[in-house]
């Protein structure tokens, strides 16, 4: 199938981007620590 190639590529790209986002958002930055730590 001609159309299925781009679909598989798009699915793989979306999976990779979701994984990148999960890794990015799981880290706490120095700014976040300075801003939020005193509240805790």
pLDDT one-digit tens code per residue, 1-40: 566 789 999 999 999 999 999 998 888 889 999 999 888 7
Q: So what's the pLDDT on residue 38? A: 87
Does this model's pTM top 0.85? Answer: no
Q: So what's the pLDDT on residue 16? A: 97
Buried residues in 25-35 as b, exposed as e (16+ CB within 10 A): eeeeeeeeeee
Cα–chain-centroid distance for residue 34? 23
Q: So what's the pLDDT on residue 25? A: 87
Q: So what's the pLDDT on residue 2? A: 60
Structural domain for 9, as ranges: 4-39
Question: How many domains are contained in the chain?
Answer: 1
């Amino acid at each position: 199938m001609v159309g299925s190639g781009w679909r598989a590529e798009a699915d793989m790209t979306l999976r990779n981007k979701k994984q990148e986002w999960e890794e990015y958002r799981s880290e706490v930055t120095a700014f976040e620590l300075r801003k939020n730590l005193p509240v805790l």
